[in-house]
């Protein structure tokens, strides 16, 4: 049997995608060498971005899988090396351009990424659970999705998505870890032993700015930001840093949650942001015996919030979904396995998918955006 050519070997390696950068290793300078000897043994050299790269085992496996399928290859040996400082700078330039000013890509006029700031008036309404499941469901649809855990004091997204390893730093860029196809960044990835974060407003703003500008997100379709409860520093910083972010209000049916949710949504009046809609969580409990719905926290709160915000803003604010109480939703969050993936036919998962369809129904494009063009002068 004939041995594969160098072109065939390179083509096979071009199918190996770096798990963090999400681009072929042949395009980003990670391929050091590749050759096949007369016995059919393929020897491939790979440059890791940093020494301790948490994804080296995944890369090794993917290289062996891709090259091992070539006809004539009897074995695959992978040698790992580490990029030099100069190579890392070249990689940074390739990914971010030769611009020392680190701008927030989602705040640029030509950005096609839809940013949703998931907000609530009070804690305990399941905002993070909603965020995580929406992100996982969007990624399952084939969208490129990122999540910023902007709840600096009460971070919980890494656990809920099952993210275990820390981000990798390449020069001034931070490579976010991912789970279920969702890129994630959280202050919880930089703290040890559940240490509390004790910061004032300016530090919160700077952390959020770094999450948005220093992290290499790539070309995202959707960015979800899990905000802390209320209308404090982080909500104001989001409006300043990403003015185009749309607010997604999460509430429960009860009166106390309804009132504070209206306040959280009404911040859009001051920040001139659009409200994407309202999600009512813990809407009811399906009785396991008779099948009837039990209104544990009352009813109608989500619809009331949507109507009140519509009246205040003078624009339609829809109620996007009413998610029932489901023990599996909580269990999935604790185990790092989103319900929309483990049991997509569950009533709560179906309602979350309904919210996803409503949020992503608008095609990605330049419609409605200013292109900065001026009419051509008459000749």
Per-domain residue ranges for the chain? 7-96, 105-359
CA distance 67 to 77: 10
CA proximity to 114, closest of 71, 139, 145:
145
Q: Please name the CATH architecture into which domain 7-96 falls.
A: 2-Layer Sandwich (3.30)
CA distance 61 to 142: 23
- Each residue's pLDDT, cut to its tens digit, for the chain (379 residues) gives 688 899 999 999 999 999 888 889 999 999 999 999 999 999 999 999 888 777 889 999 999 999 999 999 999 999 999 999 889 888 888 887 765 557 888 988 888 999 999 988 777 888 999 999 999 999 999 999 999 998 888 888 999 999 988 888 887 788 899 999 999 999 888 877 766 666 666 888 888 898 999 899 988 999 999 998 876 788 888 888 999 999 999 998 887 777 777 777 777 888 888 999 999 999 988 877 787 888 888 788 888 889 888 988 888 999 999 999 999 999 999 999 999 999 999 999 999 999 999 999 865 554 444 444 444 444 3
Is 105-359 a domain of CATH 3.90.1150.10? Answer: no
The pairing of strands 285-286 and 293-294 is: antiparallel
Tokens of 250: 């999460």
Burial 111-121 (b: 16+ CB within 10 A, else e): bebbbbbbbbb
Q: How many helices (H) and strands (E) does the chain have?
A: 12, 15
The pairing of strands 222-226 and 182-186 is: unpaired
Question: Exposure of 230 by Cβ count < 10 A (0-12 exposed, 13-18 middle, 19+ buried)?
Answer: middle
Instruction: Determine the pLDDT at residue 267.
Output: 78
CA distance 156 to 129: 9
pTM of the model: 0.80
Tokens of 86: 């100069």
């Amino acid at each position: 049997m004939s041995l594969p050519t160098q072109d065939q070997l390179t083509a096979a390696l071009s199918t190996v995608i770096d798990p963090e950068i999400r681009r072929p290793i042949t395009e980003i300078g990670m391929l050091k060498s590749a050759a096949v000897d007369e016995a059919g043994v393929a020897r491939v050299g790979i440059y890791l971005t940093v020494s301790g790269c948490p994804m080296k085992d995944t890369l090794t496996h993917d290289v062996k899988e891709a090259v091992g399928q070539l006809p004539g290859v009897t074995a695959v040996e992978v040698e790992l090396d580490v990029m030099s400082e100069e190579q890392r700078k070249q990689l940074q330039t390739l990914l971010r351009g030769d611009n020392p000013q680190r701008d927030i890509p989602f705040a640029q006029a030509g950005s096609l990424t839809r940013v949703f700031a998931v907000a609530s008036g009070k804690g305990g309404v399941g905002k993070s659970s909603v965020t995580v499941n929406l992100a996982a469901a969007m990624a399952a649809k084939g969208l490129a999705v990122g999540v910023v855990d902007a709840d600096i004091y009460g971070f919980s997204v890494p656990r809920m998505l099952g993210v275990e390893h820390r981000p990798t730093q390449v020069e001034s860029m931070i490579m976010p870890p991912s789970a279920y196809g969702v890129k994630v960044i959280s202050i919880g990835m930089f703290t040890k032993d559940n240490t509390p974060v004790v910061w004032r407003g300016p530090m919160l703003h700077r952390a959020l700015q770094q999450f948005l500008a220093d992290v290499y997100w790539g070309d995202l379709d959707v960015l979800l930001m899990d905000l802390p409860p209320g209308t404090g520093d982080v909500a104001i910083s989001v409006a300043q840093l990403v003015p185009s972010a749309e607010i997604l209000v999460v509430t429960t049916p009860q009166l106390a949650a309804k009132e504070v949710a209206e306040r959280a949504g009404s911040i859009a009046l001051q920040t001139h942001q659009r409200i994407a809609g309202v999600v009512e969580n813990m809407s009811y409990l399906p009785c396991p015996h008779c099948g009837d719905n039990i209104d544990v926290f009352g009813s109608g709160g989500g619809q009331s919030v949507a109507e009140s915000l519509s009246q205040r803003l003078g624009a339609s604010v829809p109620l996007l979904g009413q998610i029932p109480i489901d023990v599996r939703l909580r269990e999935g969050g604790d185990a790092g396995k989103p319900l929309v993936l483990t049991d997509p036919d569950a009533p709560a998962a179906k309602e979350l998918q309904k919210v996803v369809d409503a949020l992503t129904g608008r095609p990605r494009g330049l419609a409605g955006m200013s292109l900065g063009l001026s009419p051509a002068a008459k000749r």
